[in-house]
Amino acid sequence: MGNYHEMEMRVVYAQTLNELIERNPNIYCLEADLGKASATIPEVSQRNPRNYINSGVQEANMIGVGAGLAREGKIPFCATFTAFATRRCYDQLTISVAYANNNVKIVGTSPGITQGPNGGTHMCFQDLAIMRAMPNMHVYSPADSNELRSVMFYMAASQQPTYMQLVRLKMPKLFEEGTPFDPNQAKRLHAGEDVTLVATGFMTRFALDVVRQLAGEGVKVDLLHYPSVKPFDTQTLIDSARKTGAVVTVENQNIIGGLGSAVCEVLSEQHPVRVKRLGIPDRFGEVADQDYLFAKHGFGPEHIARACRELSNSKP
Amino acid sequence: MSLAGLPRRILLEEKQMTREELDGMAGEFRYVVTDAICRSGVGHIGGVMSLVEIVITLYFRIMKVKPEDPDWPDRDRLVLSKGHAGPIVYTALAYRGFFPKDWLTTINQNGTRLPSHMDQILTPGVEITAGSLGQGLSCACGMALAAKHDGRKHRVFCIIGDGESDEGQIWEAALFAAHNRLDNLVVICDYNKMQIDGRTEEIMNLEPLVDKWRAFGWETFEINGHDWDAIYDTIQKAVTVTGRPAMIIAHTIKGKGNRETEGLVDCHNVKIPDETTYQRFMCGLECKFDLPY
């Protein structure tokens, strides 16, 4: 137990699934020939083979089988790369899972630019957007291993069809083990009055680094981390925007439809302030490393810092 | 695979009905379901009429169900993957007592619990939401797998369409069911040889269909899908198959039992805009019955 932040998130995912299966034999681990990539091979496949189902390269069928299992009271966690977990089987997710309200958990691994070496075909920048637009579907994006565990425990106990992004990499520790997860509650990681910064998933660690740096410059940032993009905690955002008067969003996604859009939807209706969205500016990905992609698309730490300074200074 | 020597497991609710009773029920079902679809002004009558004998056999001679307890854990399941044939299953469910027969008059009406395509949330007795073709068979695989893991003895039946068999997901599920030895899964293909845009052999040829399923590792049967004895006897054989799933290719006639639709390629989804058309469709049926509401 413990020290999960010293492990790759995918290993934490697999070990936590084992823990969940051993508490509740109705939990299932489904894979579509990417079990090794998710680390569920060998973690889950060897330790809990009865609850391990590999469909081969059949994402659509995996989701349907998951729906059938859920109809019989099972709780399947179906994992594959984000591109295949969402856009490839979007209609199966829509009808067999969400419309039918079957309690399936979908896990999209290697979101956004963390798909680096596989390049543009595998980089999915729209999964938060398209999954958020699906009625009955919750959408989560945990930022570190301890939060991942809390989110998974929540998912295993809920009756809610859910999509979760899973960064496979090791991530720095942001939260203590056992930090509670409530999809209706954003987390304030740093309090400030000058500008609000909203982040989720992979980008929260970078946002926190930037906020600490800016504090040294005298720019006080109110940093909100949203482990759940849907449901979306509107009140915390509005309270923060009321205080700061300007909001920057950053996400490992297309700026169309994801976290930034969720923020704009809430603020434009309830408390209009200036918003700057950082992320992928409506482009496809390519084979490249993180720094190259941050620089090309303008959503790395320096871009976050610049946007926070600009909006902080631009207030009337 | 030879069935000789296998123990004949009587797992299902065998009901004895005379041929006259069965024919009468089929006629009444065709009359009632035609009325229900025509009242709504539009509906998938072709693929409904081709399934009448198969659905009656399942719900009235074979499947163990408890209408008063639709989620009874030991019930046999039917997944109608070709979800647009919902109205014939609704008719069977109503006559079996899952809900009042007069619900049938609400098919496709505003606020109905009997939508054109199957909905597991809205309708008592409906196992799986289906309508986007190809998905129900995957769900049936998941249900069959769950039953095996739980050591339950009930059977999962699934009806797919021939047009639906164009979908890649059908063949994903075909691989999956054979690989996982889902011998508690019996699938019936409503092979009426027609899809929306024309005959299957012209739009997307499925032949040799039986060979395909056999090659995928399934036990296969081929029957006349309107022959009471063939349907009943073959399902009884199919449920005794061990180690692999069973596919029954049922040769059927689209729109069967109504001269306005039988064997006509344009009967997939008919429009009934007025009383005159309604009367024409009702008069096209072989027998007249009193509506049960």
SS3 state at B12:
coil
Mutate to test the interface with A, among B75, B122, B137, B138 (most CBs of A within 10 A): B138
Whether A64 and chain B come into contact, CB under 8 Å, resolves to yes
From A131, A166, A201, give the residue that closes a domain: A166
Q: CA-CA distances (angstroms) from residue A28 to A22, A43, B146?
A: 11, 13, 10
Q: Within this chain, do residues A13 and A82 fall inside the same structural domain, yes or no?
A: yes
B117: distance to nearest CA of chain A, Å?
Answer: 11
Residues in chain B within 8 Å Cβ distance of A61: 138, 141, 169, 172-173, 176
Band of pLDDT at residue B17, cut at 50, 70 and 90: confident
CB B183 within 8 A of CB B240: no
Residue A146 domain-assigned (yes or no) = yes
Q: What's the complex ipTM?
A: 0.96
- Domain range for A159 is 4-166
Whether B198 and chain A come into contact, CB under 8 Å, resolves to no
Q: Within this chain, do residues A26 and A84 fall inside the same structural domain, yes or no?
A: yes
Q: Within this chain, do residues A152 and A191 fall inside the same structural domain, yes or no?
A: no
Residue A33 domain-assigned (yes or no) = yes
* pLDDT score at B12: 47
* pLDDT score at B9: 39
Q: Give the strands of the sheet with A221-225, arranged side by side.
A: A187-190, A221-225, A195-199, A246-254, A274-280
CB B154 within 8 A of CB B138: no
Q: Within this chain, do residues A191 and A162 fall inside the same structural domain, yes or no?
A: no
User: Would the pLDDT of B10 be above 70?
Assistant: no
Q: Summarize pLDDT for B163-222 with one digit per residue, the tens.
A: 999 999 999 999 999 999 999 999 999 999 999 999 999 999 999 999 999 999 999 999
SS3 state at A261:
helix
B138-152 mean pLDDT: 98
Q: How many domains does chain A have?
A: 2
> How many residues can be counted in chain A?
316
* pLDDT score at A119: 95
Q: Within this chain, do residues A236 and A283 fall inside the same structural domain, yes or no?
A: yes
Q: Where are the domains of chain B?
A: 19-283
- Residues of chain A with pLDDT below 70 are 1, 314-316
Tell me whether residues B137 and A64 touch, CB distance under 8 A: yes
Q: Within this chain, do residues A200 and A125 fall inside the same structural domain, yes or no?
A: no
Helices in A72-173 by DSSP H: which ranges?
82, 90-92, 127-132, 145-157
Q: Token pair of B181, please?
A: 């030895």
**CA–CA–CA angle B144, B147, B148 (5° rounding):** 90
* pLDDT score at B4: 40
Band of pLDDT at residue B15, cut at 50, 70 and 90: low
Q: Which of A156, A124, A246, A133 is nearest to A193 (CA)?
A: A246
Residue A40 domain-assigned (yes or no) = yes
The rounded distance, in Å, linking the Cα atoms of B109 and B130 is: 19
Q: Summarize pLDDT for B247-256 with one digit per residue, the tens.
A: 999 999 999 9
Q: Summarize pLDDT for B82-120 with one digit per residue, the tens.
A: 999 999 999 999 999 999 999 999 999 999 999 999 999
CATH of domain B19-283: 3.40.50.970
Q: Which of A140, A116, A143, A136 is nearest to A127 (CA)?
A: A140
CATH of the domain at A114: 3.40.50.970
Cis amide linkage into residue B100, ω under 30° from 0: no
> Over the range B244-278, which residues count as b (16 or more CB within 10 Å of their CB) and which as e?
bbbbbbbbbbbbbbbebbbebbebbebebeeeeeb
* pLDDT score at A316: 55
Residues 175-194 in B contacting A (C-alpha not used; CB under 8 Å): 175-176, 179-180
Q: Within this chain, do residues A26 and A144 fall inside the same structural domain, yes or no?
A: yes
Q: Within this chain, do residues A224 and A97 fall inside the same structural domain, yes or no?
A: no
Residue A176 domain-assigned (yes or no) = no
Q: Within this chain, do residues A269 and A149 fall inside the same structural domain, yes or no?
A: no
Q: Look over chain B and give the mean of its residue pLDDT values, rounded to a whole number.
A: 94
Q: Within this chain, do residues A33 and A161 fall inside the same structural domain, yes or no?
A: yes
Band of pLDDT at residue B16, cut at 50, 70 and 90: confident
* pLDDT score at B76: 98
Q: What is the pTM of this model?
A: 0.96
Q: Within this chain, do residues A161 and A191 fall inside the same structural domain, yes or no?
A: no
